[in-house]
Amino acid sequence: MENVTSKDGTTLAFDRLGSGPPVVLVCGGSVDRMADMAIAQELASDFTVFNYDRRGRGDSGDTPPYAIEREVEDIEAVLEAAGGSANLWGSSSGGALALIATASGAPVTKLALWEPPYFLDPDARPPADQVQQYETMIAEGRRGDAAEYFMTKVVGMPPEFVADARTQPWWAGQEAIAHTLAYDARIMGDYLVPTETVAKVKVPTLVLAGGADMPFMRDTAQAIADALPEGEVRFLDGQGHNVDATVLAPALKEFFE
């Protein structure tokens, strides 16, 4: 494990794997960098992979107050550690963050996104008061309730699954990073495709989706690709949101090379 310091003094932890052109990985919501370890290992045969913990997760620090701009600065700090510029990959809401960072002018060579969870149908969006819900629960010490709210109200998991999840050893990890759910909710905004932000992304961008468990992701991916100045879309048949790294990696290698 290595560390880099972001602009506001926050220490960010990352793993460096492999050799070759640099690729930075940005994880999604309710997870830390361990969720991307499989794809990091797959890419390490061809690239130097920088797999970092976003602020508030894993081994990274978390300097208040939170702002999306701070997370953009975090990405820029990791890009600097990678040599000043790099390819960037973001998964789920981490893909939305990667979009924002690239649109803001971060030194990204190429951008790849896995199923950014935007919606085309306004009526299908998660609850609009997510941030308030999470922050209230965290302030009241109800971290487990915040994690459950995300799983049931946002992801759409059945209550019986979450009830069982709360009895599992890994649930403590969900509670430990539950405060970051509000961070990702802020990043997602109104959950509609942010066409103005997307239009500011000037680097070649690949938008990937499987859609096996959330079919709307394919339409979303196509809409994002269509709004990008240099966008393309690719579908990985049979893949759900928790994509198989051995299926995803060849598509990323082809694009980044």
- Report pLDDT digits (tens) over 24-50: 999 999 999 999 999 999 999 999 999
Amino acid at 111: L
- The pLDDT of residue 88 is 98
Torsion of CA 201, 205, 209, 214, to 10 degrees: 0
Cα 140 to its chain centre, rounded Å, is 27
Predicted local confidence at residue 187, as pLDDT: 98
pLDDT value of position 66: 97
**Helix ranges (DSSP H) in 82-117:** 93-103
Backbone angles phi, psi at 210, to 5 degrees: -110, -55
Q: Which neighbouring-strand residues pair with 217? A: none
For 71, the enclosing helix (H) or strand (E) is helix 68-81
Look at residue 95 in the predicted model and tell me its pLDDT.
Answer: 98
Q: Are 25 and 78 in contact (CB under 8 A)?
A: no
Count of CB atoms situated within 10 Å of the CB of 145: 18
> In the chain, what are the domain boundaries?
2-122+191-256, 126-185
57 vs 41: CA distance, rounded Å = 20
State the pLDDT confidence band at 97, using cuts at 50, 70 and 90.
Answer: very high
Question: What's the whole-number mean pLDDT along residues 44-59?
Answer: 98
CATH number of the domain at 2-122+191-256, please?
3.40.50.1820
Cβ neighbors of 91 (< 8 A, separation 6 or more) are: 25, 26, 27, 28, 35, 36, 113, 114, 115, 243
- Pairwise CA distance, residues 245 & 231, whole Å: 22
Return d(Cα 257, Cα 13) in angstroms, integer.
26
Task: Indicate the Cα dihedral angle 246, 252, 253, 257, nearest 10°.
Answer: 180
Mean pLDDT of 90-104: 98
Instruction: Please classify residue 207 by burial: count the beta carbons closer than 10 Å to its beta carbon, then call 0-12 exposed, 13-18 middle and 19+ buried.
Output: buried
- The dihedral sign for the CA sequence 241, 33, 105, 202: negative
Q: pLDDT tens digit string along 137-192?
A: 999 999 999 999 999 999 999 999 999 999 999 999 999 999 999 999 999 999 99
Sign for the pseudo-dihedral over CA of 98, 103, 106, 110: positive
CA neighbor of 249 nearest in space, from 60, 135, 66, 91 = 91
211 — pLDDT class (breaks 50, 70, 90): very high
The crossing angle, in degrees rounded to 10, of helices 68-81 and 93-103 is 80
Looking up tokens 């390819």 gives 87
Beta-ladder partners of 14: 2, 52
Phi/psi at 10 (5° precision)? -70, 130
Q: What is the pTM of this model?
A: 0.97
